[in-house]
Chains A and B, each alone.
Chain A
Amino acid sequence: MSVVCPITLDLEKLKSEVRSIYAKVAENPQGDFHFHRGPVYAARLLGYDAAELGELPAAATASFAGVGNPFLMDSLPAGATVVDIGSGAGMDCLLAARRTGRTGSVVGIDMTDAMLARARASAADAGYVQVRFEKADMTALPLPAESVDVVISNGVINLAPDKEAVFSELYRVVKPGGRLQFADIVVATELSERARNNIDLWTG
Chain B
Amino acid sequence: MIEVMHRAGFRNARACQFFDSFLGTTKEALARKYGVQGANFVAYKAS
Measuring CB to CB, which residues of chain A are less than 8 angstroms from any residue of chain B? 3, 34-36, 45-47, 66-70, 72-74, 155, 157, 163-164, 167-168, 170-171, 174-189, 191, 204
Q: List 26 A-B contacts (CB under 8 A).
A: A34-B26, A35-B21, A35-B25, A36-B21, A36-B24, A36-B25, A45-B19, A46-B21, A68-B38, A73-B40, A168-B8, A171-B10, A174-B45, A177-B45, A177-B47, A179-B45, A180-B43, A181-B40, A181-B42, A183-B40, A185-B37, A186-B38, A186-B39, A189-B33, A189-B34, A191-B34
Residue with the highest number of chain A CB atoms closer than 10 Å, among B33, B35, B41: B41
Give residues 1-47 of B contacting A (CB, 8 Å): 1, 3-5, 7-10, 13, 15-27, 33-47
Nearest opposing residue in chain B for A4, CB measure: B4
Measured in the bound complex, the distance between the Cα atoms of B46 and A200 in whole Å is 38
Could you say which residues of chain B place their CB within 8 Å of the CB of A36? 21-22, 24-25
Q: B-side binding surface: helix, strand, loop or mixed?
A: mixed
Q: Is A184 touching B41 in the complex (CB atoms < 8 A)?
A: yes
Could you say which residues of chain B place their CB within 8 Å of the CB of A34? 25-27
Besides A35-B25, A179-B44, A180-B13, 10 other CB < 8 A contacts? A3-B4, A36-B21, A36-B24, A36-B25, A46-B19, A67-B39, A69-B40, A164-B4, A177-B44, A180-B42
Q: Is B8 touching A170 in the complex (CB atoms < 8 A)?
A: yes
Q: Is A188 touching B35 in the complex (CB atoms < 8 A)?
A: yes
* A164 contact from B7, B34, B46, Cβ within 8 A: B7
Nearest opposing residue in chain B for A74, CB measure: B42
The answer to whether A70 and B40 touch (CB under 8 A), given A45-B19, A167-B8, A171-B8, is: yes
